[in-house]
Chain A
Amino acid sequence: MTTSVHTAAPAGRTLSPARRMQNMLMGGLILLATLLVVAPLILIFVYLIREGLGAINADFFTKVPAPEGETGGGLANAIVGSVQMLAMASVIGVLVGVSGGIFLSEYPRHPLMPTIRMISDVLAGIPAIVMGLVVYSMIVLQFGFSGFAGALALGFLMMPIVVRTTEEVLKLVPLTVREAGLALGLPKWLVTLRIVLPAAAGGIVTGVMLALARVAGEAAPLLFTAFGNSAINMDASRPMSALPLEIFRGATSAYPENQRLAKAGALLLITLIFLTSLLARRASRRK
């Protein structure tokens, strides 16, 4: 029988120098490569703190961007727009995503199950910009740019992510739990909604949070749907701004003031996204 032989590996001095050198060299290269992989994340974060933190003040949260060439202003329009569109997107993402997850996990024998699972997986890989084009043709061509169209695009992007995590979490609920419910004479739908779903609720919430963090940073699907708005807009039937949209416009603008706001917006956005995924990870680890 194999026992752990790790520690019994031959002592270094029996190795030929060439092999020992190779071993050390590759270990060094692997360490170096890992540093190289992690470096951009740290560099980006440090850069944004250095350049953007100064612009985050009360104005940043309460004012709209100043006209080009003028100083001051904030990203209130973008923050308000992002919150509204993400809330609407969650409704679509959660309703369809959780239902899809239930279907894949609880009806494994259904003839449509393999098709829906495959299409959901494939949909998860469709570029976000293409989803923007789809919603443009579906909604914007008739009704014009709107916060609702933007939310729809984000919701479509959320769906497959939520399907996947919901399915995985539901499958972790032991079959015996379902059987216990059925043995009490409960119909399957009650067992699913009142026993299986609550047992998996934590994991589903984690999945939804991760999906939200994913789409919160998307600007590409919003370019031709929500379009952007330089004023604070609470009406979802009209064009709406979002943080990633303002970051995109600001970063590609020639005016230093807009660039400064973009950097501050980027700092806020990645801080929120990092916190969300950190929380989601904590929650899933505790399970």
Chain B
Amino acid sequence: MSEPTQSVTRPPTPSSLSSRSDRWFEIIILALASIIVLVFLLSIYLLGTESWPALQRFGLEFFTQRTWNPVEGVFGALAMITGTLLTSLVALAISVPLAIASALFVAEYAPRWLANPVGYLIELLAAVPSVVYGLWALFVIAPVLSRWEQGYFQSPDKLELYTSCKNLWDSGSTTLQCFFVPSSFDGRGLALAIIILTVMILPYTASVARDVIRLVPQEQREAMYALGATKWEVISRAILPYARAGIMGGVILALGRALGETLAVAMVIGDSQDIIKSLFGGASTMASVIANQFGDAQESLHRSSVVTLGLTLFFLSVIVNYVARLIIGRLTPKGIQ
């Protein structure tokens, strides 16, 4: 205890006596660990071969074509790609300030007895299953939205606006004004999907932000306080700039979650494959189409097109997660890593 152990060298090398059994152990461990790589490569192969017919038939137009029509056998994913990006990015824009604020509360404002339970509650948000979020959104938030939407049938001038927008939607276009007019009346739609996604991705940004804010050296804060700064000035000029890059990693991690979030979105988004025309109307995301259509897709081109959405989602999340890990990894001090 009293003597500091100075003998810490690089990882020990196996002695020659036991090298054969060690060799076997290494092979077994490596083989089992390689299953991870195998699953990854197999995923690419299987998704690739399954989506090949659709990619061969439509080529790159699959991603730019706006018609998704199983009856006529025409599959273009533009509406779903737009839906995925729109829901994810808007949810991200709403959730990031809230997540950072709650991280600041836990790390900077709250006394210890409060910080721990609040931090724990925020982490529990990440543990709530997708279906449970979907159920809650469907039974609790949707009726509230629906009541507001049905208001459009009660006042004459709103009804007039709705009618003119309806004509516009039917001709396949929309305006900024009409974008905020409801096109469905059961509460389901793009807006509800964004609301529930916002709640679902909050904890990912919040917990990464909290961790990096706690890593900001105490001297940073003290230097600002010594200059006479208020608490908010310390936060905005010393803490947040220091933690900026790490928080960005958390934001991108949350983006990855949002892009692939499936059932909660599938339950509330109103499952329409038309190009998006209204914030309060049916839409779909790549993940929601997989959940809603793959089971019923009998015809092989339809099935292959749905798998192509899965392949797209696969590569999208690989890229997003890789970038997030890169950012977080670069920021983690070597000792902790």
Contacts and interface: CB of A to CB of B under 8 A. Distances in A.
A273 B32 contact: no
B134 A277 contact: no
Contacts of B128: 41, 44, 217, 270, 273
Of the listed residues B19, B47, B124, B125, the one surrounded by the most CB atoms of chain A closer than 10 A to its CB is B124
Nearest to B114: A34
Contacts, number: 308
Interface string A215-231: 01111100110000000
Contact of B121 (A41, A108, A138): A41
The B interface, classified by DSSP as helix, strand, loop or mixed, is helix
Size class of the contact patch on chain B: 35 or more
Contacts of B161: none
Interface residues of A, number: 105
Interface string A100-126: 101110111110100110111111111
B140 A43 contact: yes
Nearest to B267: A252
B132 A126 contact: no
Nearest to A178: B12
A133 B294 contact: yes
Contact of A217 (B14, B129, B202, B262): B129
A58 interface: no
Contact of A189 (B22, B131, B322): B22
Contacts of A216: 129
A130 interface: yes
19 contacts: A29-B101, A30-B105, A38-B118, A100-B36, A102-B33, A108-B11, A116-B36, A122-B321, A123-B39, A127-B259, A175-B12, A179-B12, A182-B15, A188-B14, A217-B131, A219-B263, A251-B135, A274-B127, A277-B127
Interface of A: 2, 4-6, 8-10, 14-15, 19-20, 22-23, 26-27, 29-31, 33-34, 36-38, 40-44, 47-48, 51, 95-96, 99-100, 102-104, 106-110, 112, 115-116, 118-131, 133-134, 136-138, 156, 159-160, 163, 175-176, 178-179, 182, 185-190, 192, 213-214, 216-220, 223-224, 244, 247-248, 251-252, 259, 262-263, 266, 269-270, 273-274, 277, 281
